Amino acid sequence: MTNTSRPVVLIAEKLAPSVLDALGDGVEVRHVDGTDRAALLEAVQDADALLVRSATQVNAEVFAATRKLKVVARAGVGLDNVEVPAATQNGVMVVNAPTSNIVSAAEHAVALLLAVARQIPAAHETLQNHEWKRSKFNGVELNGKTVGVVGLGKIGQLFAQRIAAFGVNLIAYDPYVSAARAAQLGIELVSLEELLERSDAISIHLPKTPETKGLIGAEQLAKAKRGVIIVNAARGGLIDEEALAEAVKEGQVGGAGVDVFSTEPTTESPLFNVPGIVVTPHLGASTAEAQDRAGTDVAKSVALALAGEFVPDAVNVQGGAVGEEVRPYLPLVQKLGTVLSALSPKAPTSVTVEVRGELSNEDVAVLPLAALRGVFSKVVESQVTFVNAPQLAEDLGVSVEVVKETESPNHRSLVTVRAVAADGTTNSVSGTVSGIAQVEKLVNINGRNFDLRAEGTVLLLEYPDRPGVMGTVGTLLGEAGVNIEAAQISQTGDDAVMVLRVDRPVDTQVLDPIGASVGARTVRSVDFG
Ligand SMILES: NC(=O)C1=CN([C@@H]2O[C@H](COP(=O)(O)OP(=O)(O)OC[C@H]3O[C@@H](n4cnc5c(N)ncnc54)[C@H](O)[C@@H]3O)[C@@H](O)[C@H]2O)C=CC1
Ligand SMILES: O=C(O)CCC(=O)C(=O)O
């Protein structure tokens, strides 16, 4: 029987069994063939999370078909099949598993290079055909040769480290890597032109971007050293496939190892059936280890995303990495924003997050996102996530600022969120995370000190002070079946603010008459969930 209350995780491609273990029983797993467009568009409507590898195209059309999608998880590295800006626009988090398969991909590039250099697949085929043709297969040694790496990122570096063991000279082209970093790795950074001229073998490890698409075409291949071996285990389309096939046939390129194609899946390519070209059907990440890691990494991220928590591997969330010290403050700061949205349910013109004390030594760039999620909770209909909060702020003309102050008079760390409305009205709420149990507390509302756990439902009343108000409020709540768990009053002169933590949500039909009976000018209910 289907349990519809559990979040639906839609798996659109074959993933390692470890992904199901890591997802656990808290979600309902459904399967669809992500390459069957109609089936995908229908299945994604009810999905909370979508898990893909590289064959499913997740674009604006998919996001338009979704109703409650919160996260797209790519069980691997490359995100060229996921339209990240469209995801961001829709408040959908995109996560990948950036290190899960990098060793496998680097090893595959090495395997392809050796397979081409020693013509292993072709030699294997002759024996399968009961032919013994030793003299046909004369290979080349790597020792003493120059190997050029195009794209010196995670996989490029792993490839370089591994191929270095063959006694090669390493050069690389990557305009975004410093010469110092390359030198540390024993690699000389050169221009693409120089790399083409000097390399006996070239391995490509670039992402596919508008800048890199077609980077190696007929012109570049013509400039390369005659007989060069070219390997591409990165992305199809980085090298012009027609041009590469022609260059191998003419002998300008000595051979090529290709794992990726401009269209995938494919059974037709100019690179097929060309002597000297070794092809594999996008197998770089196809190892037990890489698939296990990719599956468990994205399952963990999906669980965090569905719980509304910060996800370290999210690629479309501003704010960068979130430290251990900062993490407990994310839900608290969202709650401070929720109190502000209850006090003033219109979009403010500015939101300031003030961080005091020990926390001010940390990178707190993510805290404004949490504050905005709370502040916008009553302002916009659509879901407010870590992903789309900055875009919503921009669309609504809300300026956002973080202020840090090392001094914190009463708390080790204190965060205040202040919102200024269009008419200049300012509201502020402060909170802290207290003790080993990391209890989230509200400690100040509009300059008045309290000490109240930020959980459940909190009622706030501003009223002219007089004897008996607490009793009246308590009686009326009791008559409505609402139990008070904690109560605090801050009184100054004739004015008082009462905050109550109660055992259930209280709707306006109950709350408004209570406010009227004590002459309250403000009565609010804040639900922390
Ligand atoms: N065949 C397979 O199964 C797999 C393929 N991949 C692919 O391998 C590629 C590399 O992945 P990673 O190393 O993890 O990425 P990465 O992001 O760590 O490294 C990419 C490098 O390319 C450089 N780069 C970017 N634009 C450039 C340009 N215009 N010219 C020169 N360099 C440029 C960057 O500075 C960076 O150092 C990606 O395309 C990824 O999708 C990844 C895993 C498995
Ligand atoms: O096997 C896969 O899922 C694709 C691996 C890949 O190309 C990547 O992670 O970028």
Using one digit for the tens of pLDDT, what is the confidence trace for 448-460?
999 999 999 999 9
In contact, 497 and 460? CB cutoff 8 Å: yes
Asked if pLDDT for residue 2 goes beyond 50, the answer is no
What is the residue with the minimal CA distance to atom 1 of ligand 2?
285
DSSP type of residue 77? S
What is the chain's length? Answer: 529
What is the residue with the minimal CA distance to atom 10 of ligand 2?
78
Select from 53, 57, 286 the residue to mutate for testing ligand 2; criterion: most ligand atoms less than 8 Å from CB: 53
Weakest mean pLDDT among 24-28, 381-385, 395-399:
381-385
Tell me the catalytic residues: 235, 264, 282
Using one digit for the tens of pLDDT, what is the confidence trace for 474-505?
999 999 999 999 999 998 888 999 999 999 99
Weakest mean pLDDT among 44-48, 341-345, 462-466, 494-498:
341-345
Average pLDDT over residues 17-36: 95
207 alpha carbon, closest ligand: 1
DSSP labels for 217-229?
A: -HHHHHHSPTTEE
Domains of the chain: 8-99+289-307 (3.40.50.720), 101-279 (3.40.50.720), 321-455 (3.30.1330.90), 458-528 (3.30.70.260)
Reference 524, options 302, 321, 345, 336; nearest CA is 345
- Give the integer Cα–Cα distance in Å for 150 and 175: 10
Query: What is the model's pLDDT at position 321?
Result: 67
- Cα 492 to the center of its chain, rounded Å: 47
Nearest atom in ligand 1 to 76's CA: 43
Query: What is the model's pLDDT at position 3?
Result: 46
- Give the integer Cα–Cα distance in Å for 212 and 210: 6
DSSP labels for 89-146?
A: HTT-EEEE-TTTTHHHHHHHHHHHHHHHHTTHHHHHHHHHTT---GGG------TT-E
Distances (CA, A) of 389 to 21, 89, 232, 374, 433: 32, 10, 38, 10, 23
- Give the integer Cα–Cα distance in Å for 256 and 116: 6
pLDDT band at residue 323, thresholds of 50, 70 and 90? Answer: confident
CA 290–ligand 2 middle distance (angstroms): 10
Ligand 1 pocket, residues with Cβ under 6 angstroms: 76-78, 101-102, 105, 151-156, 173-177, 205-208, 211-212, 233-235, 259-260, 282, 284-285
259 alpha carbon, closest ligand: 1
pTM of the model: 0.78
Query: What phi, psi does 180 have (nearest 5°)?
Result: -65, -45
437: its two tokens: 């149990």
- Give the integer Cα–Cα distance in Å for 230 and 201: 6
Nearest atom in ligand 1 to 211's CA: 29
Query: What phi, psi does 57 have (nearest 5°)?
Result: -85, 110
Average pLDDT over residues 325-339: 94
Using one digit for the tens of pLDDT, what is the confidence trace for 140-161?
999 999 999 999 999 999 999 9
The three-class DSSP label of residue 321 is: coil
What is the residue with the minimal CA distance to atom 20 of ligand 1?
153
- Give the integer Cα–Cα distance in Å for 116 and 106: 16
CA 516–ligand 2 middle distance (angstroms): 62
H-run or E-run covering 30: strand 28-31
CA 208–ligand 1 middle distance (angstroms): 8
Q: What is the ipTM of this complex?
A: 0.99
103 alpha carbon, closest ligand: 1
- Give the integer Cα–Cα distance in Å for 158 and 2: 45
- Give the integer Cα–Cα distance in Å for 228 and 251: 9
In contact, 214 and 191? CB cutoff 8 Å: no
CA 495–ligand 2 middle distance (angstroms): 64
The three-class DSSP label of residue 66 is: coil
Q: Which residue reads 């391995």 in tokens?
A: 203
Asked if pLDDT for residue 443 goes beyond 60, the answer is yes
Query: What phi, psi does 253 have (nearest 5°)?
Result: -105, 130
Cis, peptide link before residue 265, omega less than 30° from 0? yes
**CB within 8 Å of 178: residues ≥ 6 apart:** none
> Which burial class, exposed, middle or buried, applies to 435 when counting CB atoms under 10 A from its CB (0-12, 13-18, 19+)?
exposed
CA 78–ligand 2 middle distance (angstroms): 6
List, as own/partner pairs, every contact residues 167-170 make where C-beta atoms lie below 8 angstroms and the sequence separation is at least 24, other chains included.
167/142, 167/143, 168/142, 168/143, 168/144, 168/201, 169/144, 169/145, 170/146
Using one digit for the tens of pLDDT, what is the confidence trace for 236-269?
999 999 999 999 999 999 999 999 999 999 999 9
Nearest atom in ligand 1 to 157's CA: 13
Asked if pLDDT for residue 1 goes beyond 60, the answer is no
- β-strands 201-204, 228-232: how paired? parallel
Q: Angle 379-382-386 (CA atoms, 0-180°, nearest 5)?
A: 90
